[in-house]
């Protein structure tokens, strides 16, 4: 556990100078120039706690924003799937119709051939020719039957596809409508989140500006290196960010609320919530 002395002499000198300089001007905060060290540090803790709250909110908003592309993709995938299903059906029907026309043409040719054989049957002169012709006729008829059966099966399948088409078309329309609604919703939410983030950023900057330069630099450095969270609350005797438990000495120090502590696990600044009553 590292107990950092956050109020270097330079910091105190600067704050006192600041207070002296502004006292007669602002008249807002009844700060005594003989302010104690404890109170000064408490103010620094308070600022860090407020920064902690801002950063928690900002991280949550950023996370929402980061989820938007995935939500958009989910809708786009649904539209693509519905469009694909409809296109597959249409393509299958189109191919089947072409194939049926070909089958029907071939069957018609076979029928012509069969009729010709049947005519020739009338002019055969012996039993052998008769049987040969009968054989030819049976073969042609059998081939024609096969083609006609396939054509019929295709017709039935095409009917089923055509019957299923309206539902698939509706599914596509619905998916497109949902995607459009969701896109509009996400765009509005995007802009709302970005506005909120900009507001948080403004508050963060003005708060951070009230810190002494070393403290401010440390906060900024931690914030950029720790996923936007430089300060963590101590929750159930552990760092609220990485959950590293605090040793008893660290907890005692945290309860005094005099200094900022640094987490051994993640390096963030850690502190107890100011409103939490200090225990002995």
Nearer CB in complex with Zn ion: 99/244:
244
Q: Which of 45, 58, 79, 241 binds Zn ion (CB under 5 A)?
A: 241
Nearer CB in complex with Zn ion: 103/231:
231
SS3 118: helix
Under the binding rule (CB under 5 A), the answer on residue 211 touching Zn ion is: no
CB of 1 to Zn ion, least distance (A): 11
Nearer CB in complex with Zn ion: 6/158:
6
Q: Which of 58, 222, 239, 246 binds Zn ion (CB under 5 A)?
A: 239
Q: Is 111 exposed, middle or buried (0-12, 13-18, 19+ CB in 10 A)?
A: middle
Under the binding rule (CB under 5 A), the answer on residue 272 touching Zn ion is: no
Under the binding rule (CB under 5 A), the answer on residue 254 touching Zn ion is: no
Q: Which of 263, 269, 271, 272 binds Zn ion (CB under 5 A)?
A: 263
Nearer CB in complex with Zn ion: 138/235:
235
Both tokens of 92, joined, read 């299958």
Q: What whole-number distance in Å separates Cα of residue 59 and Cα of residue 194?
A: 12
User: In this chain, which stretch among 100-108, 150-158, 184-192, 259-267 interacts with Zn ion, using CB under 5 A?
Assistant: 259-267
Largest CA distance in the chain: 138
CB of 262 to Zn ion, least distance (A): 9
List strands edge to edge, sheet with 2-3.
2-3, 261-262, 269-271, 231-235, 238-239
Of the chain, the end-to-end C-alpha distance in Å amounts to 20
Nearer CB in complex with Zn ion: 124/233:
233
Under the binding rule (CB under 5 A), the answer on residue 261 touching Zn ion is: no
Under the binding rule (CB under 5 A), the answer on residue 228 touching Zn ion is: no
User: CB under 8 Å, gap of 24 or more: what pairs does 274-278 form?
Assistant: 274/45, 274/46, 274/49
SS3 160: helix
Nearer CB in complex with Zn ion: 49/117:
49
Tell which residue, 266, 254, 219, 201, has the closest CA to residue 48: 219
Q: What whole-number distance in Å separates Cα of residue 216 and Cα of residue 14?
A: 14
Q: Which of 151, 266, 269, 271 binds Zn ion (CB under 5 A)?
A: 266
Instruction: Give how many residues touch Zn ion by CB under 5 A.
Output: 7
CB of 267 to Zn ion, least distance (A): 7
What backbone phi and psi angles, to 5 degrees, belong to 30? -75, 65
User: In this chain, which stretch among 14-22, 199-207, 242-250, 251-259 interacts with Zn ion, using CB under 5 A?
Assistant: 242-250
Under the binding rule (CB under 5 A), the answer on residue 242 touching Zn ion is: yes
CB of 225 to Zn ion, least distance (A): 13
Q: Which residues of 131-147 are buried (b: 16+ CB within 10 A; e: fewer)?
A: eebeebbeebeeebeeb
Under the binding rule (CB under 5 A), the answer on residue 271 touching Zn ion is: no
CB of 57 to Zn ion, least distance (A): 19
279: left (phi over 0), alpha (psi -120 to 50) or beta: beta
Residues of this chain that bind Zn ion (CB under 5 A): 239, 241-242, 244, 263, 265-266
């Amino acid at each position: 556990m590292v107990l950092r002395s956050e109020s270097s002499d330079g910091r105190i000198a600067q704050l006192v100078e600041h207070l002296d300089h502004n006292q007669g001007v602002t008249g807002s905060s009844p700060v005594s120039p003989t302010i104690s060290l404890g109170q000064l540090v408490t103010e620094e803790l308070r600022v860090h706690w407020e920064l902690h709250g801002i950063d928690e909110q900002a991280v949550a908003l950023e996370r929402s924003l980061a989820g938007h592309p995935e939500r958009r993709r989910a809708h786009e995938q649904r539209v693509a799937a519905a469009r694909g299903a409809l296109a597959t059906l249409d393509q299958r029907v189109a191919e089947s119709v072409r194939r049926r026309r070909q089958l029907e043409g071939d069957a018609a040719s076979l029928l012509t051939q069969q009729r010709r054989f049947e005519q020739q049957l009338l002019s055969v002169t012996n039993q052998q020719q008769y049987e040969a012709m009968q054989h030819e006729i049976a073969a042609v008829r059998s081939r024609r039957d096969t083609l006609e059966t396939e054509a019929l099966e295709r017709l039935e399948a095409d009917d089923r596809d055509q019957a299923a088409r309206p539902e698939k078309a509706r599914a596509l329309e619905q998916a497109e409508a949902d995607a459009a609604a969701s896109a509009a919703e996400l765009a509005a939410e995007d802009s709302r989140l970005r506005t909120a983030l900009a507001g948080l950023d403004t508050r963060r900057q003005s708060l951070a500006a009230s810190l002494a330069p070393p403290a401010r630099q440390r906060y900024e450095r931690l914030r950029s290196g720790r996923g936007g969270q430089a300060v963590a609350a101590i929750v159930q005797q552990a760092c609220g960010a990485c959950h590293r438990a605090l040793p008893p000495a660290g907890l005692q120090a945290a309860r005094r609320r005099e200094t900022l502590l640094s987490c051994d696990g993640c390096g963030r600044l850690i502190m107890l919530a100011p409103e939490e009553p200090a225990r002995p």
